[in-house]
Chains A and B, each alone.
Chain A
Amino acid sequence: MHVDFSKNYFDLFGLAEKFDIDNAQLVSRFQELQKQLHPDKYASKPDAERRWSMQAASFVNEAYQTLGDDLKRAIYLLTLQGVSIDEETDTQMSPMFLMEQMEYREALEMAPDASDPYQALDAVRKNLKSATSEQLAAFENACNQQSWDEARTSVRQWQFLDKLKQEVRSAEERLDE
């Protein structure tokens, strides 16, 4: 058993380095690696080897979590291109986009007081969903044309939408309580 930690995640799972991946292959290769790295197999092995197997298993896990999530995979693809999304330091976004984000958040804030809060939240979620597919398509398109600046912009906007999606979910959980 050998796992090369310097390998990129796509190589690790035998996938081509692009956004659109074969999910079935990702899952089956992950299960295979997990089986090979199972702690039981290393229980009677020397300490160094057991430690190595644990590191390898966590590397494989990290790789799987990254490639299995659309947004994380997109960010990772950019990293491989040497493009950083500067998510904490670059706060300049299109004013139009930020205005829309404010509106989404206002709608989310008002939703619990709406006559039908679930419906209000559902409306936000639907808008978010279509906005997210737009960013996803724009990202893939930019990647195909190797326009990394545009791909970076899409991913940065997508991050806002992803965060908002989580907030819609927690707003819903609060309603359920």
Chain B
Amino acid sequence: MAYSDKVLDHYENPRNVGVLDKDDPNVGTGMVGAPACGDVMRLQIKVNDDGIIEDAKFKTYGCGSAIASSSLVTEMVKGKTLEEVGEIRNKHIADELALPPVKIHCSVLAEDAIAAAIADIKAKRTEKDSSEAVAS
């Protein structure tokens, strides 16, 4: 099956591969996996106090479409607010990369990974707020 030029571009030159400190209170980590293909995806975002995503990193073990989907997502989220990023749907990713129907699940994986990262940072901040409330 032929990959689109955009998939190939992200696959050959993946953006933002790497790792952020998952224990940093400003870092949200999302880990997801798809049993169908055995792909594993880790997506991390670094969020400043204004709720803006300053940095994003990913590491994906999987096919070209899964790598391209996560690479694209890290580009899409930088400079955006958590609210804006929460609107990202797999369809945006699949359309942008021109994924064929059999590879749509790779974009689902990326959507779920960013959602998990957002949930993680929100949980961290709620926890921090409540412990500060208790302390004061």
**Which of A's residues lie within 8 Å of B, judged by CB?**
85, 87-93, 95, 97-99, 101-102, 105, 109, 155-157, 159-160, 162-164, 167
Interchain CA distance A99-B34 in the complex, whole Å:
14
Taken together as a complex, chains A and B put the C-alpha atoms of A89 and B116 apart, in Å, by: 15
Q: How many residues of B contact A (CB 8 A)?
A: 18
For B38, the chain A residues whose CB sits under 8 A away are 101, 159-160, 162-164, 167
CB-CB under 8 A from B112, the residues of chain A are 91-92
Cβ of B61 < 8 Å from any Cβ of A?
A: yes
Determine if B32 and A89 form an interchain contact, defined as CB atoms under 8 angstroms apart: no
11 A-B interface contacts by CB (under 8 A): A87-B36, A88-B108, A91-B32, A91-B34, A93-B33, A98-B42, A101-B40, A101-B61, A102-B42, A109-B61, A160-B38
Given contacts A160-B38, A164-B38, contact A91 B109 (CB under 8 A): yes
B50-87 with Cβ < 8 A to chain A:
59, 61
In the complex the two chains form, is A105's CB within 8 Å of B40's CB?
Answer: yes
Known A-B contacts A89-B105, A91-B112, A105-B40; A160 and B35 likewise in contact (beta carbons under 8 Å): yes
Query: In this assembly, does B37 line the interface, its C-beta being within 8 Å of a C-beta of chain A?
Result: yes
How far is B35's CA from A90's CA once the two chains are assembled, in angstroms?
A: 8
B97 within 8 A of A: no
The closest CB in chain A to the CB of B33 belongs to: A93
Q: Chain B: residues with CB nearer than 8 A to chain A?
A: 31-38, 40, 42, 59, 61, 105, 108-109, 112-113, 116
B28 to chain A, nearest CB (A): 13
Contact B108 A91 (CB under 8 A): yes
Chain B residues, Cβ within 8 Å of A160: 33, 35, 38, 40
Are B40 and A159 closer than 8 Å at their CB atoms? Answer: no
By the criterion CB–CB under 8 Å, are A102 and B61 in contact? yes
CA distance A92 to B35 in the complex (A): 10
Chain A residues with CB under 8 Å of B40's CB are 98, 101-102, 105, 160
Docked pose: A138 CA to B29 CA in angstroms = 29
Residue of A whose beta carbon sits closest to that of B59: A102
Closest to A85 in B: B35
- Are the CB atoms of A95 and B31 closer together than 8 Å? yes
Beta-carbon contact of A156 and B105 below 8 Å: no
Q: How many angstroms between the C-alpha atoms of A17 and B105 in the bound complex?
A: 32
Given A91-B109, A91-B112, A101-B37 contact (CB < 8 Å):
no
